[in-house]
Structure 1
């Protein structure tokens, strides 16, 4: 990720409704949600949600796939990973003990795939 794409992603997430949408879609991975369901979850008009979905998609934070008449939106977890890695790439000037609490917190919310076996 470069500075421009990082700024685009952070800018898209810097608005409260878009941040809520993104967090909602992260919670609904891997299935995603149709735009109408996103609007219902957030109690907002669908046309308002559609504008926010478009902004998040342009920033690369969402993907969409048409299923018949529905468009299902999913959070781009790979883009989220890239963003998080970009933000902490040079963490703590090479002192891993300073980054350990951050890594532990992130690890606890995202169990490894082996945990599901």
Structure 2
């Protein structure tokens, strides 16, 4: 796993240190790879389009979201590599040689397990 460097982690954490931006990021993580158009994000979060544009720009510069154009719409989605890089940075020194410290974190990823049935 590629870990973020300190300056990139600081930028990502700074971007998420705002209620609306954190809400947007979590919404896009839940939306999956298909993402959401800007108008839908604005309605879901309850912000004006010009305010949302600023938030999306900050999240994009922090490497947490990406965008693509589909016709006349811009679709935004979470950048899962960026998210994994930030999470990896945060827990890279977690255990200090004692895996029992970080073991509870593994349970948090249980929501992502694929049922093999």
Q: TM-score, normalised by structure 1?
A: 0.92
Q: Which has the higher contact order (CA 8 A, sep 6+)?
A: 2
| Match of residue 13 from structure 2 | 10
Q: Alignment partner for residue 98 of structure 1, among 101, 104, 109?
A: 101
| Match of residue 108 from structure 1 | 110
Structure 1 runs (4+) deviating above 6 angstroms are: none
Shift of 1:68: 0.9
Are the structure 2 counterparts of residues 91 and 30 from structure 1 closer, same or farther at C-alpha, using a change threshold of 3 Å? same
Count of paired positions = 114
In structure 1, the gaps of 5 or more residues are: none
Once residues 48 and 96 of structure 1 are traced to their aligned partners in structure 2, the CA distance between those partners, rounded to angstroms, is 43
